[in-house]
Every structure is written in C-alpha cells, then in structure tokens.
Amino acid sequence: MRITLDEETCIGAGQCVLAAPEVFDQRDSDGIAVLLTETPEEDQRAAVADAAIRCPALAIRITG
Amino acid sequence: MTDTSSLPTTRAFPTARPAGCPFDPAEDYARFRTEESLTRVSCPAGIDAYLLSSYDEVRALLNDPRLSSRAAVSTHVVLDRDLDAPTVPGSILHLDGPAHARLRRMLTPEFTVKRMQALREYVRGLIDERIDAILAKGGPVDLYQEFALPIPSLVICELLGVPYADRDRFQAQSSILVSTDAAPELMAATSQEVQQYIAGLVMTKMAEPADDLLSRLIQRGNESETPLTLEELIVLGLSLLVAGHETTANMIGLSTLALLRNPEQLAALREDPSLAESAVEEMLRYLSIVQFGLLRNATEDIEFGDETIRAGEWLVAALASGNRDESVFPNAEKIDLRRNPTTHLAFGFGAHQCIGQQLARVELQEVFSRLYQRIPTLRLAVPFEEITFKDNALAYGVRGLPVTWDA
Ligand code: HEM
Ligand code: SF4
C-alpha cells in the first residue's frame, strides 16, 4: 500500500491523526498533516482507509 | 432574469421537528432524501435554495470550491439579514479560497490533535471542579447554566489567554451573548462589552506577548507576508468564542437529556467510560446541533446529475439530514453509543470543517467520562415535557436542564 497526501489542500482538521496515528501526524509549525510513512504495513490498511474517507479536504490517496 | 420554468416545485424549508420528538430533525428530510431530483425550498430569509439532504450530496456540496461561504453558516433562516453584505475582514467562516486559507493556516497549528490532547488535563480539572460545586450546592440545579455553559467558555479563556481575574466576568457575559432569551438592550450592551474586551486583550498581547493562542497568532501573522490587522485579530478572537461556546454547551446539555431518556445507553457509558470516544461521535451525529445546515452560494454554473445549478443560486447542506441517512448509518434514528460513526457531518465537511473539533471532542469526552460516573443517580428534576428547546436558534439545544440526584 502506498499513500500520498496533498499538503496544499489539507486544512489541518486532524481527522487522519485520529484515524491512523501510526501513519499521520501534524506539523507543529502549521498544523498541516505529514506522513510518518508513505508505505504503511498491511495491518494499517483499515485505519488508513478510515483516514482517507474522513479527510474533509479529500487530501489522502491510497494506491495499491 | 433566470429561467425558472425548469425548476422543480418549491417547498417550505423544513424547520419544525416532529411532535414529541425533540431529538429528531423535521420529517420532510426523509422524503427529500429519497427523491431523485434536487429539492427546491423557500427559506425564512426570503430566498429560494436547493436543499441537499442525502449524505453523499452534502459531502459533495461542501467540498466544492465553486461554492462560496459568504453567507454561511445558516443565514437562510435568519430574518432581515442582508445576504449580500460585504464580508468582514477576519471572518474565517465567511471567506473563500486564498483569503480563507490564509487565516485557516495561521490558526490550524493552535488546534492540532496533539495540542488539544495537551489541554485534556486542564479540561478534566475544570469539569471536576464544576461537579464538586454542583454536588456541594445540592439538587435541583440547572445543569445547563451551572455546567454546560461555563465549561466551554472557561476553556476558551484558557486558550485565548484571558487573565484569571477576568474569567468569571467574561464567562457571564459570553453566556448572555449566546442566550436566546436575553432582552435586546442587554444583548447589544453585552456584545459591545465583549468586543471591547477582546480588542483590549489583543492589544495587551501585542504589547506583552505570552504563551497563548492570541500571542502566537499575532507573531505568526507578523512573520508572514501579510500580518494580521488589529481588526482581523479581534474578529478571529470573537469567532472562536461565538463558534466554540454555545455549540459545545448545547452538545453537553442536549446529550445529557438524550442519554437520560435512553437509560440503557447511559448505563453502558457509566459502566464503561472507555465508550466515551465513540459515544461523543454518536451524539454529534444523532443530535446534529447545527440544526438548519450550512448555506452556500454558487459562484459559477454547476452540473449536478442531470441538472444545472446556475451561478448565483443558493444551496443548503442539510447536516442533520445527512447524519440520518440510512444508507450510511443503519437504524439512524436510534442512539447506539458503540456505533462510532466517525464520518458524521456534525462538524461540516470541506475547507471550513470545524477547526475547533478536536477541542470539542476533548471537552465532550471528558464530560461523558466524568459527569455520569460522579453523579450516577442524575435525573431530571421536572417532567420531560417541561423542558424547552432552542427551536429557532442556529445551534439547537435545551434552554435549561433542571436535574437532581440522590444525595
Ligand atoms: C460540538 C461543538 C461544535 C460543533 C457542532 C461545531 C460545528 C461547526 C460547523 C458545522 C462548522 C462549519 C461551518 C461552515 O462550514 O460553514 C464549524 C466551523 C468552525 N468552528 Fe466549530 N463547532 C463546534 C465547536 C467549536 C469549538 C470548540 C471551536 C473553537 C474554539 C469552534 C470554532 C470554529 C471555527 C473558527 C469555525 C470556522 C472554520 C472555517 O471557516 O474555516 N467550533 N463548526
Ligand atoms: S484529515 Fe485531511 S485535512 Fe485533516 S489533517 Fe489529515 S490530511 Fe489534512
């Protein structure tokens, strides 16, 4: 699984951090989301999918 | 002139809740959700609008950059409001595109999950203090006045850096501001005082920065290419107060009433406080306190299915209806504290989705895991039928909540 995050559209709502804290974090400086890994383990799939559907800016894409 | 011949029939915007069911949205929504074509409604503010009522429609609409927020949040139900009034600088709710993003990006670092989690201890302490005070006073008490209203406003004081000595007064004034039954003169005078207070606070933080949201906001602005003006800072401070106080207070009051009416759910929460997280999401979904939804305006023609929404048309995203959409939330009319419906629409969706949501979550989670445990015999002190509701307010809730318990 590979994920991408569009920092430009991210509005820093933090939904991804709640959904998948092992994969997403927010930068202290601007609150925008950052990926802790671009290729999370398979056991994170459900959490990442939840993050993607919760993201109010549709900024998270999952491929593979 | 727009050609209206192809428009569907216009119905009245649904505002009345079903008799005897103060927690359910208007019955019309369920019918609108099943209709193929877009629903046209005439709104109390004197405009006609498209009503988007299904979960998918609401999400699609709120994420569409061709829609303007200039008359958000629920201006379609506000009488005598000039819908074309220019947007006030700093009014984050009403700005679009880059002007909105500029303010939003300056505020987001203040509301990260991490930062809000760090406030949890403080919030819990505040809640425990209030419960101690209520227990010491003895029942019956108005839980809305004595508990639901003060907590979110004191939390905002902490966030903004309001000095301790001013907090009681600030809290009292801000509670008048959000009340639905204060006399107009008192309301106007109080509004003036709160505005002046925030203006003074911003100027103090400009002169003597401290470790708080306003000080950091000023600094962040100064480090950017377009520093925040005094006017913008005041409006932002007021926006946080207005958007964060009554909403959270209503959620505390209304959730408590709904749980008291669903004793088996309340018992489950009392016995297992780890349910609080999921319970908060479910109550947000079930109650959808931004009861009339969010108003948007089309800035260009938009194809929606087979239909074209013309530039200039109004649209309403019915959050309360989307949150009861059976195709997403089976048995949507039932409270199920284990459901954990994290994709609900109670905080909106898209670029304006509530910036304070992680703070609201912390406050509500702490209330849900403290109040019912510490006062296990909590019950209404009056018959349910005597509770009155904010039927016309933008944020729905109880007007008061007299409760008592076994001492
Ligand atoms: C349970 C409590 C709350 C509910 C139900 C709620 C609901 C909402 C909704 C639906 C919106 C979107 C408005 C739109 O798109 O037009 C919003 C935006 C906003 N909320 Fe909340 N809110 C709550 C608590 C808070 C708190 C605690 C704060 C801050 C202290 C806050 C500050 C804001 C701000 C500043 C915005 C505007 C964001 C923007 O336009 O980018 N809210 N809220
Ligand atoms: S959920 Fe989306 S908008 Fe929110 S912080 Fe994560 S990526 Fe950004």
Which has the closest alpha carbon to B125: B155, B145, B169?
B155
Q: What is the DSSP letter of B144?
A: I
Q: Which ligand is nearest to the CA of A32?
A: 2
Instruction: Write out pLDDT tens, residues B386-401.
Output: 999 999 888 999 999 9
Q: In chain A, how many domains are there? A: 1
Which has the closest alpha carbon to B7: B31, B42, B56?
B42
Measure the CA–CA gap between B152 and B246, rounded to whole angstroms.
8
Q: Which ligand is nearest to the CA of A52?
A: 2
Asked whether B27 and B19 are in contact (CB, 8 A), the reply is no
Chain A residues within 8 A (CB-CB) of chain B? 11-15, 17-19, 25-32, 50, 53-54, 56-58
pLDDT in tens, chain B (407 residues): 444 445 568 999 999 999 889 999 999 999 999 987 889 999 998 999 999 999 999 999 999 999 999 998 888 988 877 888 889 999 999 999 999 999 999 999 999 999 999 999 999 999 999 999 999 999 899 999 999 999 999 999 999 999 988 988 888 888 888 776 778 888 889 989 999 999 999 999 999 999 999 999 999 999 999 999 999 999 999 999 989 999 999 999 999 999 999 999 999 999 999 999 999 999 999 999 999 999 999 999 999 888 899 999 999 999 999 999 999 999 999 999 999 999 999 999 999 999 999 999 999 999 999 999 999 999 999 999 999 999 988 899 999 999 999 98
The alpha carbon of B358 and the centre of ligand 1 are apart by a number of angstroms equal to: 10
Determine the CATH number of domain B11-404. 1.10.630.10
Q: Which two tokens stand for residue B59?
A: 């999400």
Measure the CA–CA gap between B290 and B273, rounded to whole angstroms.
26
With an 8 Å Cβ cutoff, are B104 and A58 in contact? Answer: no
Q: Is the dihedral of CA A26, B246, B118, B358 positive or negative?
A: negative
With an 8 Å Cβ cutoff, are B104 and A56 in contact? Answer: no
Given A17, A18, A30, which is nearest B109 (Cβ)? A30
Burial class (CB in 10 A: 0-12, 13-18, 19+), B306: exposed
Q: How far is B266 from chain A (nearest CA, A)?
A: 25
Q: Which ligand is nearest to the CA of B355?
A: 1
Chain A residue numbers with beta carbons less than 8 Å from the beta carbon of B351 are 11, 56-57
Chain B residue numbers with beta carbons less than 8 Å from the beta carbon of A32 are 105, 108
Which has the closest alpha carbon to B323: B277, B358, B289, B360?
B289
Geometric angle at alpha carbon B301, from B299 and B305, rounded to 5°: 125
Q: What is the ipTM of this complex?
A: 0.93
> What is the span of the domain harbouring residue A33?
2-63
Asked whether B88 and B94 are in contact (CB, 8 A), the reply is yes
Q: Which two tokens stand for residue B36?
A: 């193929």
Chain A residue numbers with beta carbons less than 8 Å from the beta carbon of B114 are 17, 25-26, 28
Instruction: Write out pLDDT tens, residues B275-287.
Output: 999 999 999 999 9
Chain A residue numbers with beta carbons less than 8 Å from the beta carbon of B69 are none
Q: Which two tokens stand for residue B90?
A: 């700093």
The alpha carbon of B109 and the centre of ligand 2 are apart by a number of angstroms equal to: 12
Count CB-CB contacts under 10 A for residue B300.
Answer: 10
User: Strand B48-52 and strand A24-26: pairing?
Assistant: unpaired
Q: Which two tokens stand for residue B359?
A: 């703070």
